[in-house]
Amino acid sequence: MTYNGLPIRTSFKDAEAIHYAALISEFIRKAKSVVEPSLLNGTPIDVIRIRSNKNEIIIAPDSKGETILVVVQDALAQA
């Protein structure tokens, strides 16, 4: 997805992809405003993992700041 919250490539239905992209875009915006730069010691956040009873969401921004890789997977799936 883009930093503006637009899905680029997805296996979800359009409405579901737009919903996830909007929520994650808002989450990233809020996370950036809350996390103190001094806590990161100048290093950017590489990956954020959010796990619920149903899903695990992995969020990984690219180094150029243009796109965000988002993976939504079944949290109960066997490895």
Q: What is the pLDDT of residue 62?
A: 84
Instruction: List the domain range (segments joined by +) for residue 62.
Output: 14-74
Domain count, the chain: 1
pLDDT given for residue 79 in this prediction:
60
The confidence score (pLDDT) of residue 70 equals 94
Residue 8 in any domain: the answer is no
Is residue 7 assigned to a domain? no
In a domain, 31, yes or no: yes
Residue 38's pLDDT is 63
Q: How far apart are CA 40 and CA 70, in angstroms?
A: 22
- The predicted structure's pLDDT at residue 65: 77
What are the backbone angles phi and psi of residue 31, rounded to the nearest 5°?
Answer: -65, -40
**Residue 53 burial class via C-beta count within 10 angstroms: exposed 0-12, middle 13-18, buried 19 and up:** exposed
List per-residue pLDDT tens for the chain, 79 residues long.
988 888 999 999 999 999 999 999 898 888 877 876 666 676 777 889 999 999 999 999 887 878 999 999 998 886 6
CATH of the domain at 52: 3.30.450.30
Could you tell me if residue 4 is inside a domain? no
